[in-house]
Amino acid sequence: MDEPRHEPGDGDPDLTSLHVRRAIGGDDESLGWLVERLSPLLQAQARYRLGPKLAFRCDPEDVVHDAWLTTLPRIAELPPRDGRFTPVLLKFLSTTILNRVRNLLRDYARHGTESLPPFDMSSDRSGAVTQAMRHERVDAVRAALDSLETGDREVILLRGVEQQPAKLVGVLLEISEEAVSKRYRRALEKLRARLPGSVFDELSPDA
C-alpha cells in the first residue's frame, strides 16, 4: 500500500494521524494500514499484561483483535491531541486491552480456565483485521521489541504504548522517575535504529 503524501499546509506529518483522518472518511485501506501499523505494539502489550500463565491459555492476538473490533466503530469519535491522532488512538486501544486483560485475570483467578469467555469475531471487519495483523511487518516490529532487554521493553510498553505517567512506571519497575525517562529514550533509540521508518518513529521521544 502506498504511504500517504503529506500535503503542504496539513501541519502533521504523522502517518498514523493521516491514515486515521482517511479512515474516518471511510477509507478501508487506511483502516487496514492502521491495524498493521499499531498491532505489534498492542500484541506485545497484551502478552506482557496477560503474563506467561494466562497468555498460554488466551492468545494475545485474540485480545488485540477484540480491541480493534471494539475501537473501529468509534474511531470517528476520537479527538486529536495537539493535532495528532496517534497518541489518542494508541491510548484508546491500549486501555481497551488493559481493561479486557484485567477482566480475564479476575475471571481466571476466581474460576480457572473454564471461565475464560470466547472472543466475539463476528464483525464484518474481522477477516480484514486478522489479515492486517499477520502482515510480515508485524513480525519485524515484534522481533525488534523482543530484542530489547526486559526492563527496556517494559518501559516502552508502559510509557510509550500505555502512556502511563513516568512516576507510576517508576513505582511499578522500582526505579526513579529520571531512570524511567533515560531508559525509555535509550530503548526507543535502539528500536528506531533497528527498524527505521516504522511505528517506533511515531512514539514520542519525550513520553
Place of cell 511515531: 202
When mean pLDDT is compared across 50-54, 105-109, 168-172, the lowest value belongs to: 105-109
CATH 1.10.10.10 correct for 147-200: yes
Write the CB contacts of 6 (distance below 8 Å, at least 6 apart in sequence): 12, 13, 18
Q: What is the pLDDT of residues 2-47, one digit of tens each?
A: 444 433 233 344 788 888 888 888 888 888 888 888 988 999 999 9
- Give ranges for CATH 1.10.10.10 in the chain: 147-200
Residue 173, CA distances (Å) to 51, 149, 152 in order: 16, 13, 10
